[in-house]
Structure 1
Amino acid sequence: MSSMIDKTTAEDRRAAADILDDLQAVLSAAAVELPSLGIDWRSATSTGVILIDLGAARPDVIERLVVVLRRGKRP
């Protein structure tokens, strides 16, 4: 049987997974790969808050990410 926190965060967990998929698609289209990108499911289990972990990446990868973000920035 699922714990109460699993039941109360089910929708948030699905939304986080969808958002992560969207982020991976956008980054992939821009040729940016964050190798440790993922969802921190443990945080949800202990706090009820779902976190997307951007993880660690080399400086050149983060530089490409910054370029992508700057291009997409709207005034």
Structure 2
Amino acid sequence: MQENNILFYSIKDDGIGVLKEELQSIFGVFVVSSKTRTVGGRGVGLALCKKVIELHAGKIWAENDKQGKTTFIFTMPL
């Protein structure tokens, strides 16, 4: 989707999701969602995504739907 020279991208996670209370903190370095601790992960991937997107003057965030599935949204200027 495009709006005012900004592209919006969204990626829906079909996995176990992220708790609503953790949606902001999961973009920190070495932060792992409590729902994924048993699955694995080091807490680096989303922090790296955030850094790259911000270096390109974009923004990233996550939202949950009613079923608890997480959608990651980020913007990039044209």
TM-score interval for Structure 1 and Structure 2 normalised by the shorter chain: 0.3 to 0.5
The one of the two structures with greater contact order (alpha-carbon pairs below 8 A, sep at least 6) is 2
Q: Which has the higher helix share?
A: 1
Larger Rg: 1
